[in-house]
Amino acid sequence: MLLALSEIRRGKLRFGLLTGAVGLLVFLILFLQTLTGALLGFFTGALEHQSAQILVYGEDARRNPESSRVTVETVDAVAQVDGVATAAAFSENTLSVDAGGADLFDTTIFGYELDGPGEPTTLSQGRLPRADGEAVASAIDAGSGFGLGDVVTVVPGKQELTIVGLADDLRFSVQPTLFVSYETFERTVLATNPDAQAVLPSMVAVRVDAGVETAAVANEITDRVEGVDAVTREGAVSSLPGVSAVRSSFQVLLFLAGFVVLLVTGIFFSILTVQKTQALTLLRAVGASAGYLLRNLLLQVLLVTLGGIGVAAGLLALAASVSTPDFPIDADPGLILATGSATLVLALAASIASIRRVRRLDPAGATTRMAGGGLA
Amino acid sequence: MRLAWKELIRRPARFLSTGGALTLIVVLLLLLGGLLDGLTLSATGAYGAQTADLLVYTDEANGSLFRSRIDPDVRAQLEDVEGVHTVSGIGAVLLPARIAGSPDPTDVAVFGYEAPNAQVPAPPAGGEAYVDRTLADAGLALGEIFAVGPAAVELRAKDWVDDTSFLAQAGVWADGATWREVLAANRPDAVLPDGTWQALLVEAEGDVDAGELASRIEAATPGLDPQTRAQAILGLPGVEAQQGTFTNIIVMTFVIAGLVVALFFALLTLERVGLFGVLKAIGTSSRTLAGGLVVQAVAIAVGAFVVGGLVTIGLTPVVPPDVPIELVPRRAIVTALGLVVTALIGSAVSFRRIVRIDPASAVGGS
């Protein structure tokens, strides 16, 4: 084993470069995964963490809350479907909010019937709204003027909202998010446009009876109520615009980055083994077993990969420490462990060509060489 | 230099590994760049098409077209500002559209507008619309009637326009009256009266600077937020964050490319230490040898770019349809230049070893 370590000590530059390259590639993979998770969470949090088990969209809305509008009659019709325990209007809009700072915030506001379906489920501080003019805010934005007890103003219209609760993972469309009573929502939206004629609900929020299958009720609503598309909460989250595009895009990039790790590691150790063929043959001739040489090779692969994973973990921790509160990057040990393990498997798979070459070395070949070779 | 070329030509297999790894990195870089350009173009095409110097919102809109409204009296004040040449109104609403023969609805951004821009001619007659060519993929044909919004307001597709998408939805361009009709029927909370627009497009007179004109407008008409086209594009939801994030990832990928080049040229140099010793012994300078290395690195980078580019073009049709990749020449040029510079820097890592090779080693070397 000392042979492997000695070679690394004497070839600091090339082993250092490989470790650096693997480290950056693993960091790229970790960063892309972290970014995907955070982005998707910020895109979808509000829908994922509200109490309605089914969301009912207008049939042409392509399950996009911004595009969807339903009528009050639709809300009543949904409530009549078998298996529906409660159905209520549920609306979403993006408005400019003055949270006391120099700039206005683009803020997503959800309106729901108090104590009805659609209320936030991840309350971490304070309480849910009990009256008009009260709001629960996404906890991550507390430091931006959306803290407990803060009063924010929706402009134009000058509607004031008091933050009475904070909920985790509640952002929507990567913006600060507020949940208010349906009446507050209607009043606020009407105030922003003096020519507005009415505020139609974006969706219908549904809770199902105990013991019934949610997906079956969703299908029943779509079949029985004209002009709607009902979907379970999970389905609504994965159908949001951009979610599948973000997921697919990052999957393509992750696959490519993983393939580059495989190629770089594999080629490096192949070249190194070819360059050392004479020295390795000589070692075999003087009694070193193939197993001994293989163990040295695998130790080097292991050390380089672990070094790379260490570099990547360090870079991710650095990125986490300098990330901003409104877009936090988390150095998740579980993710590092899982990605590191996968990288290790990839690196070992990549060294198969080198392993085969070492196994095929013929000690007798040393007698046909002018010199033993070896690396300077 | 000739020696370096000859080695590349006669022993290409020696450089295949470096080239292969770099080719994959090129594919990664081009896909990342293509993704960024696709996302940006699909979100900002309609703004990119504008020829006006300024896009003016109300300041309470915080840079959002949908939350802005400018009444005729404010427009009149704006028109009187010194340096303003022309003012025209614009507004948009995001809606689903039903196209005959297509089983699923398609998302569109219906614009109402007064003046032509780089991509869209002057407003069509009432009930007609210029439509983004991407709607052809959804089955729309010219002259065909399609219905927008839950209220199914009918519009006739007059002609195609290119690159006018907005917030990832295909642009549909109608005159003001038709747009207001669409708005009133589908979004009763967003109705605007005649003469009121969400935003105004301002062209400056002669050589008046856009930034200077914006300052004059701010001073003369408090409550308005004039933005240059570039500012308006960056102000669209997610655009700036998207560009920052992707640019960081692309820069990191270039660094990885540099490390890979440095790594493989370190190995190649090591392999040729004896040969370089002999060359030095017969009078070849370190500079010439380093120059040869640079030639090889650049040639490999260029080769990897060409092959990687072809692979990327070949891969694009099989990328999932919901991944909005857009390959644009400017991105390819930037990637090629970046790769060459990276290869140069990466190959420079081996210069020190070349300089340290002792010509005398040629005599005693094995």
Distance CA A249, CA A243 (A): 10
Residues of chain B with Cβ-Cβ distance to A14 below 8 Å are: 263, 266-267, 270
Run of H or E including A315: helix A290-322
Q: Do A24 and B237 lie within an 8 Å CB cutoff?
A: no
Give the separation between CA A18 and CA B21, rounded to whole angstroms: 13
3-state secondary structure of A85: strand
Check residue A242 and give left, alpha or beta (phi > 0: left; psi -120 to 50: alpha). left
Tell me which chain B residues have a C-beta less than 8 angstroms from the C-beta of A244. Answer: 322
Mapped onto helix, strand or coil, the DSSP state of residue A8 is helix
Q: State the alpha helices, DSSP H only, in chain B.
A: 2-10, 12-48, 72-79, 176-186, 210-220, 229-234, 239-271, 273-281, 286-315, 329-348, 351-356, 361-364
Phi first, then psi: give them for residue A172, nearest 5 degrees: -140, 135
What residues does each domain of chain A span? 2-43+244-368, 49-239
Q: Is residue B174's pLDDT more than 90? A: yes
Distance in angstroms (rounded) separating the CA atoms of residues A190 and A198: 7
Of A156, A195, A264, nearest to B260 by CB-CB distance is A264
The pTM of the full predicted model, rounded to 2 decimals, is 0.79
Q: Distance (Å, rounded) from C-alpha A96 to C-alpha B63?
A: 9
CB contact under 8 A, A263 and B21: yes
What six digits make up the tokens of A216? 């079956």
Tens of pLDDT, residue by residue, chain A (376 residues): 578 888 888 888 888 888 988 898 899 899 889 988 888 898 899 999 999 999 999 998 889 998 899 999 999 999 999 999 999 999 999 999 999 988 899 999 999 999 999 999 999 999 999 999 999 999 999 999 999 999 999 998 899 999 999 999 999 988 999 999 999 999 999 999 888 888 999 999 999 999 999 999 999 999 999 999 999 999 999 998 778 777 887 888 888 888 888 888 888 888 888 878 888 888 888 888 889 999 988 999 999 999 999 999 999 999 999 887 767 788 899 999 999 999 999 888 888 888 988 888 888 877 766 554 544 4
- Pick the residue of A24, A27, A261, A346 with the most B CBs within 10 A to test the interface with B by mutation: A24
B153-161 vs B128-132, strand pairing mode: parallel
Encoded tokens for A294: 């293989």
Token readout for B212 is 């200077």
Q: How many CB atoms lie within 10 A of CB A321?
A: 9
CA atoms within 13 Å, Cβ hemisphere of B294: 12
The closest of B101, B118, B110 to B183, measured between CA atoms, is: B110
- How far B205 CA lies from chain A's nearest CA (Å)? 31
Q: Check CB contact under 8 Å for A14 and B32.
A: no
Nearest-neighbour CA in chain B from A210: distance (Å):
33
For residue A324, the Cα-to-chain-centroid distance in whole angstroms is 17
Output DSSP code: residue B103. Answer: S
Cβ(A271)–Cβ(B17) below 8 Å: yes
Radius of gyration of chain B (CA): 28
Q: Which letter, b or e, does each residue of B204-223 get, where b requires 16 or more Cβ atoms within 10 Å of its Cβ?
A: beeebebeebbebbbeebee
Report CA torsion sign: A282, A283, A286, A289.
Answer: negative
For residue A156, cis peptide bond before it (omega within 30 degrees of 0):
yes
